[in-house]
Amino acid sequence: MLEEHTNYFVRWRGEISGPLSGQQIKQMLDKGHLTRFHDISSDRLTWKQLQKLVVSTTTPKETIISSNSISAEDTPKKNRSYEASSKVRPPIAIEPSHTNNIPPLLPMPPSDYAFMPVAELFKPGLFRRPMVRWVVTFCILPLLILLAHHYLAWGFERSAWLIEGFFCLFWGIFFFHIMQPEKVLWKTGLAYALFTAFVGIPALLLWQQIPLIRSLYSGIEGQGILPSLLGFVFGVGLFEELCKVVPFFVINPRRYGLRTPGDGLLLGIMSGLGFALNEGVMYSLKYWQENAMVGTSAMAHTLINFQGGPELFAQQMQKLTADLAEFYGGTILTQFVRLMTLPLLHAAWSGIVGYYVGYAWLKGQWGGLLLGLCLAAGLHGLYDFWAGTIYMVVLAGGSVAILLSIMVHHHRAAATVAHEGGY
């Protein structure tokens, strides 16, 4: 049921407004400013139609027969004395007719529906809608990248930056749309992403030259399970997550809009996406350079060691082509995971740390930062340690689940604090 003193958010066609109290929502429903088909949520995560939470105090005219709708002339004289002495009866609702096979809760289409509503294209309000901008942007950008690659002929490396940036931008807009932060946090988050991508990772490569850190990283190539595990957790996981935390201490978050631990969560996500941007480009170049070497070597080996006639040569080339196609196909699948899933995972790990950084920054309890850093480093390192196994999938799902859990907690805490007049 709708509680009068609880704050709610209203969603209609992708646009969210609020917060509004339950009493305000009931008043807007009675005045016709809201319909029973509007979505209502107290935390902007779980949505229900208004008709499931409250019953409108207004009733359609065509389904009501009330006592005052009958004129005095139509009332039999023998009943007038009874009606005058009795209390006013409540309206009697008549069940809606199903002669047209229309469900009772199905809204009738307005009469002004156009057959071809292309006139909306020429209205300025169309492209102000977040949904429209989202769809158009992510439809057009890949085509522009493809055209730039062909017509500018600037090489695969520059196009790889744009491709990886496209997917990182996708996740960035996704999380900003869910969390609905202040607009100023967009600029701060972009600064965090660029700092990690172009300053943090080069600094990390320098850190790896320090003997102690280099020895930890070398453990991932060892033969033993324990050295490899320690190398992934305390080498790769720990230092890569430390790299993503650096912007919090270089770009003052409190000055640029950090108001809640949830803002730290979002800034951590953006730093993780910046890390994924640079790392994704490096791996993309590595994948296709290795493919080129494998293809060239296989072709050269076939030509040098070939003995036989044209038919045998054609058979060997056909087999080589099939093998290379399988090899390249596997690279495409790996590239797909690198483009789509790894930015999300880096965002999840650094978002966890970012939440604890924001909490420590605002509350002064820096011990929690160590907990968040250890949790993210452990998830990151174990994911790399078990890469290629089912445990990798479990750790990926667990990492995203923890991120979403923190996000839900932030929304509920923020709604409670806002209701009590905090922040």
Structure token digits, residue 226: 């324990």
Q: Which helix (H) or strand (E) holds 405?
A: helix 390-419
Give this prediction's pTM: 0.72
**Residue that is written with structure tokens 């969210």 in the block:** 16
The per-residue pLDDT for range 280-306, each reduced to its tens digit, is: 999 999 999 999 999 999 989 888 888
Residue ranges covered by each domain of the chain: 1-58, 148-417
Q: 14: helix, coil or strand? A: coil
Structure token digits, residue 297: 């070597």
Pairing of strands 39-41, 48-49: antiparallel
* Residue spans of alpha helices (H) in 180-305: 184-195, 201-207, 211-218, 225-230, 238-250, 261-304
DSSP 8-state class, residue 65: E
Q: What percent of the residues of the chain are helix, what percent strand, and what percent coil, each to the nearest 5?
A: 70, 5, 25
DSSP 8-state class, residue 52: G
What pLDDT was estimated at residue 106? 45
What pLDDT was estimated at residue 22? 77
Percentage of the chain exceeding pLDDT 90: 44
Q: Which residue type, as a one-letter code, is found at position 265?
A: L
Distance between CA atoms of residues 423 and 417, nearest Å: 7
CB-based contacts of 252-258 (< 8 A; 24+ apart in sequence) = 253/188, 253/358, 253/361, 254/361, 256/184, 256/185, 256/187, 256/188, 256/191, 257/181, 257/182, 257/184, 257/185, 257/188, 258/188, 258/358, 258/361, 258/362
What pLDDT was estimated at residue 420? 58
Q: What contacts 98, CB < 8 A, 6 or more positions away?
A: 104
Per-residue tens of pLDDT for the chain, all 423 residues: 667 677 788 876 667 777 788 778 777 877 777 777 777 887 777 777 777 776 544 444 433 333 344 344 444 444 444 444 444 444 444 344 444 444 444 455 555 667 777 877 887 778 888 888 888 889 999 999 999 999 999 999 999 999 999 999 999 999 998 888 888 888 899 999 999 999 999 999 998 898 888 888 887 876 688 889 999 999 999 999 999 999 998 987 667 667 889 999 999 999 999 999 999 999 999 999 999 999 999 989 888 888 878 888 888 889 999 999 999 999 999 999 999 999 999 999 999 999 999 888 888 888 888 999 999 999 999 999 999 999 999 999 999 999 999 999 988 887 776 565 544
